[in-house]
Amino acid sequence: MRISREKYCIVTKSYPLKFIQNGEGCDDIEEVYLKSKEDCEHELNTFDEPEKFQIIKVNVTYEF
């Protein structure tokens, strides 16, 4: 059986990408809490310089 979901996270626009978790940069996507697009948009609107960041889609697939 396979279950797939679209989740989102906030990352920097500059490379190498940093995943943003609680306002802090992180290199490892496994340490990042994936959210809905709406939650990411709401969080991004609270940033001082939101133009330096972007929201990306992450496809999560569970297979068992």
pLDDT in tens, 45-56: 999 999 999 999
Q: How far is residue 12's CA from residue 26's CA, in Å, rounded to a whole number?
A: 10
> What ranges make up the beta strands (E) of 1-64?
2-12, 19-21, 24-26, 53-63
pTM, to two decimals: 0.84
Q: How far is residue 1's CA from residue 21's CA, in Å, rounded to a whole number?
A: 31
- Cβ–Cβ < 8 Å for 11, 51: no
pLDDT of amino acid 36: 95
Which residue type is seen at 50? P
Residues of the chain with pLDDT below 50 are none
